[in-house]
Chain A
């Protein structure tokens, strides 16, 4: 059975304090790993798709990396507007996503 575990559950940082969020997964044949951002009361917003180990993608202060067992979402010099819940999901079969429980990130000014 596919499993996705995100850590930590919650993370509080000061503005400018860089850190990383972790997504560990077990899946027999990874088709893709997705990162989403979710603001309170909103639907998940797509950030990145990673397809194979060694792949990296960047967007503003965020950088996602992928190994055979886990993915990291690195956040560099975060700002308060980066506060959100970050969701990781893996896809094995046709389009079915399995989500982790999310990391709730708070950036204090």
Chain B
């Protein structure tokens, strides 16, 4: 098992550009989520999905879109990048929808918006 994989590892964008951060898991997990990590702020939830075709907003969803067409993939789209979106982005997945099940994290994507 590769676990949770994320691409790219690093990305530099100009203000106004769009891009998609990729996340995939091969553990047949139903729940997937995206977090951003900023210095002094901790990890904050952007969007999450409890299964294919179902997504919902987290704490900081503005400026980001998600979709979940398959169980394995959960891409995060930045529609028009802003410097405030400079951050490290982590994708996570877990098996269970309702119980307190362990979330496993990917290696992260470090994004800089100029």
B106 adjacent to chain A (CB < 8 Å): yes
Chain A CB within 8 A of B22 CB: no
**How many A-B contacts if CB must be within 8 Å?**
60
**Residues of chain A in range 45-101 having any CB-CB distance to chain B below 8 Å:** 45-46, 49, 51, 87, 89, 91, 94-101
Encoded as 1 (CB less than 8 Å from any A CB) or 0, chain B from 93 to 105 comes to: 0101111111111
- Complex CA–CA separation, A94 to B51 (angstroms): 12
Residues of B near A25 (CB, < 8 A) are none
B42 — which chain A residues lie within 8 A by C-beta?
4, 87, 99-102
Least distance between A2 CB and chain B CB atoms (Å): 10
Q: Provide the bound-state CA to CA distance between A34 and B43, in Å.
A: 13
B74 at the interface (CB under 8 A from A): no
Which residues of the partner chain A approach B90 to less than 8 Å between Cβ atoms?
Answer: 43-44
